[in-house]
A and B are shown apart, each in its own frame.
Chain A
Amino acid sequence: GAVVSQHPSRVICKSGTSVKIECRSLDFQATTMFWYRQFPKKSLMLMATSNEGSKATYEQGVEKDKFLINHASLTLSTLTVTSAHPEDSSFYICSARPNPRASSYNEQFFGPGTRLTVL
Chain B
Amino acid sequence: RKEVEQDPGPFNVPEGATVAFNCTYSNSASQSFFWYRQDCRKEPKLLMSVYSSGNEDGRFTAQLNRASQYISLLIRDSKLSDSATYLCVVTLTGNQFYFGTGTSLTVIP
Contacts and interface: CB of A to CB of B under 8 A. Distances in A.
Interface residues of A, number: 19
Contacts of B42: 112-113
Interface residues of B, number: 19
Contacts of B31: 106
A15 B89 CA distance: 35
A97 interface: yes
Is chain B's interface secondary structure helix, strand, loop, or mixed overall? strand
Q: Which of A34, A44, A93 has the most CB of B within 10 A?
A: A44
A111 B43 CA distance: 7
B34 interface: yes
Interface stretch (B13-21, B59-67, B73-81, B95-103): B95-103
Interface of B: 31-32, 34, 41-46, 49, 87, 89, 91, 95, 97, 99-102
A91 B87 contact: no
Nearest to A45: B99
Contacts of A44: 44, 87, 99
Contacts of B97: 34, 46, 108
Interface of A: 32, 34, 42-44, 46, 49, 91, 93, 97, 106-113, 115
Contact of B41 (A43, A91, A110): A91
